[in-house]
């Protein structure tokens, strides 16, 4: 484990993240196939995402200008570190 990695008790499953929260993907609890599938969707360890919607048991996340829908099983396997909420640029002007 790298010294920059947060302790495991600070990581939560993406499925449990509140809507509108920003987070960084820290761990994928799945095999090579899941990791490659997420990579093809633009999601990898270190990606910063925003949870935008819940759809049944699944979620919709925004990442680098795109939105990706993930099923409930995948959302449980992505462990994220919640980031401080980011202010909208229009609020700071």
Calculate the CA 93 to chain-centre distance: 28
Domain 10-83 class in CATH: mainly beta
Q: Is the pLDDT of residue 30 over 50?
A: yes
The answer, yes or no, to whether residue 5 has pLDDT greater than 70, is: no
pLDDT exceeding 90 applies to what percent of the chain? 74
Average pLDDT in the chain: 87
Each domain of the chain, given as residue ranges in start order, spans 10-83
Q: What is the pTM of this model?
A: 0.81
Sheet containing 58-63, strands listed edge to edge, beginning at the edge strand earlier in sequence: 12-13, 78-82, 22-28, 48-55, 58-63, 66-70
- What average pLDDT does range 46-53 have in this prediction? 96
Over 50: is that where the pLDDT of 17 sits? yes
For residues 32 and 93, is the Cβ–Cβ distance under 8 A?
no
Q: What is the pLDDT of residue 85?
A: 73
Burial class of residue 28 in the structure, from the number of CB atoms within 10 Å of its CB (0-12 exposed, 13-18 middle, 19+ buried)? middle
The H or E element containing residue 77 is helix 72-77
Per-residue pLDDT for 80 more than 50? yes
Answer whether residue 67 shows pLDDT above 70. Answer: yes
């Amino acid at each position: 484990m790298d010294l920059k990695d947060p302790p495991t008790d600070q990581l939560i499953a993406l499925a449990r993240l509140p809507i509108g929260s920003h987070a960084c993907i820290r761990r994928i609890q799945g095999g090579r196939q899941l990791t490659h599938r997420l990579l093809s969707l633009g999601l990898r360890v270190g990606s910063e995402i925003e949870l935008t919607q819940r759809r049944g048991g699944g979620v919709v996340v925004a990442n680098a200008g795109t939105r990706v829908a993930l099923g409930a099983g995948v959302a449980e396997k992505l462990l994220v570190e919640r980031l401080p909420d980011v202010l909208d640029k229009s609020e700071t002007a």
